[in-house]
Structure 1
Amino acid sequence: MQSLDRAHCEQLDRDDPLAFARDRFHLPEGVVYLDGNSLGALPKATAAHVDQVIRRQWGDDLITGWNTHGWVDLPKRLGAKLAPLIGASEDEVAVCDSTSLNVFKLLSAALSLRPKRKIILSDIGNFPTDLYMAQGLAQLLGRDHRLELVRPEQVLDRIHDDVAIVMLTDVDYRTGRRHDMAAINARARDVGALTLWDLAHSAGAMPVELDRHGCDFAVGCGYKYLNGGPGAPAFLYVARRWLGAAQQPLFGWFGHAQPFDFDTAYRPRDGIERYLVGTPSVIGMAALQCGLETFDGIDLGQLRAKSLALGDLMIRLVAQECGGTGLGLASPADGRQRGSQVSYGHNHGYPIMQALIARRVIGDFRAPDLLRFGFTPLYLRYQDIWDAVAVLKTVLAQEEWRRPEFNRRAAVT
Structure 2
Amino acid sequence: MATDFTRTRAMFHLPDGVIYLDGNSLGPLPMAAAERVQSCIEGEWGEMLITAWNRAGWMNKPRALGDRIGRLIGAEPGSVVLGDTLSIKVYQALASALDLRPDRKVILSDTGNFPSDLYMAEGLTRTLGEGYALCTVAPEAVEDAITPDIAVLMLTEVDYRTGRKHDMKRLIEKAHAAGALVVWDLAHSAGAIEVDLAGADADFAVGCTYKYLNSGPGGPAFIYVAPRLAENVQPALSGWLGHDAPFAFDLDYRPGAGIERMRVGTPPVLQLAALEASLDIWDRVAMADIRARSIELSEAFIKGVEAACPALTLASPRDPLQRGSQVSFAHAQGYAIMQALIARGVIGDFRAPDILRFGFTPLYTTMEDVSGAVAILKEIMDNALWDRPEYKTRARVT
Is this a same-fold pair by TM over 0.5?
yes
2:313 aligns with 328
**1:69 counterpart (56, 66, 69):** 56
* Aligned-residue RMSD, C-alpha: 1.0
1:37 aligns with 24
Q: Do the aligned partners of 2:3 and 2:286 also contact (CA within 8 Å) in 1?
A: no
1:152 aligns with 139
C-alpha spacing 1:188/1:362, structure 2 compared with 1 (3 Å): same
1:302 partner letter? D
1:393 aligns with 378
Query: The residue matched to 1:94 in structure 2 has which SS?
Result: strand
For residues 348-375 of structure 1, what are the alpha-carbon distances to aligned partners after superposition, in whole Å with 9 as ceiling and x for unaligned? 0000000000001000000000000001
Q: Do the aligned partners of 1:88 and 1:209 also contact (CA within 8 Å) in 2?
A: yes
Structure 1: which 5+ runs fail to align? 1-14
2:204 partner letter? F
For residues 383-412 of structure 1, what are the alpha-carbon distances to aligned partners after superposition, in whole Å with 9 as ceiling and x for unaligned? 100000100001111111111110100000
Output aligned runs, 1:226-305, within 5 Å.
226-305=213-292
Distance in 1 separating the partners of 2:324 and 2:57: 36
1:201 aligns with 188
Structure 2: which 5+ runs fail to align? none
Q: Do the aligned partners of 2:3 and 2:289 also contact (CA within 8 Å) in 1?
A: no
For residues 287-310 of structure 1, what are the alpha-carbon distances to aligned partners after superposition, in whole Å with 9 as ceiling and x for unaligned? 111122221221111110001111
Query: The residue matched to 1:50 in structure 2 has which SS?
Result: helix
Q: Do the aligned partners of 2:113 and 2:156 also contact (CA within 8 Å) in 1?
A: yes
Q: Percent identity?
A: 54
Distance in 2 separating the partners of 1:143 and 1:231: 35
* 1:313 matches 2:300: yes
Output aligned runs, 1:56-95, within 5 Å.
56-95=43-82
Distance in 2 separating the partners of 1:118 and 1:257: 29
Q: Do the aligned partners of 1:177 and 1:337 also contact (CA within 8 Å) in 2?
A: yes
* 1:218 matches 2:205: yes
Distance in 2 separating the partners of 1:351 and 1:57: 46
1:363 aligns with 348
Output aligned runs, 1:346-385, within 5 Å.
346-385=331-370
Query: The residue matched to 1:401 in structure 2 has which SS?
Result: coil
Distance in 2 separating the partners of 1:354 and 1:29: 19
Following superposition, the deviation at residue 16 of structure 1 comes to 8.3
Q: Do the aligned partners of 2:27 and 2:211 also contact (CA within 8 Å) in 1?
A: yes
1:131 aligns with 118
Aligned residues: 397
1:345 aligns with 330
Query: The residue matched to 1:30 in structure 2 has which SS?
Result: coil
2:327 partner letter? V
Query: The residue matched to 2:102 in structure 1 has which SS?
Result: coil
Q: TM-score, normalised by structure 2?
A: 0.98
Structure 1 runs (4+) deviating above 6 angstroms are none
For residues 231-281 of structure 1, what are the alpha-carbon distances to aligned partners after superposition, in whole Å with 9 as ceiling and x for unaligned? 000000000011011111111110111111111111110110000111111
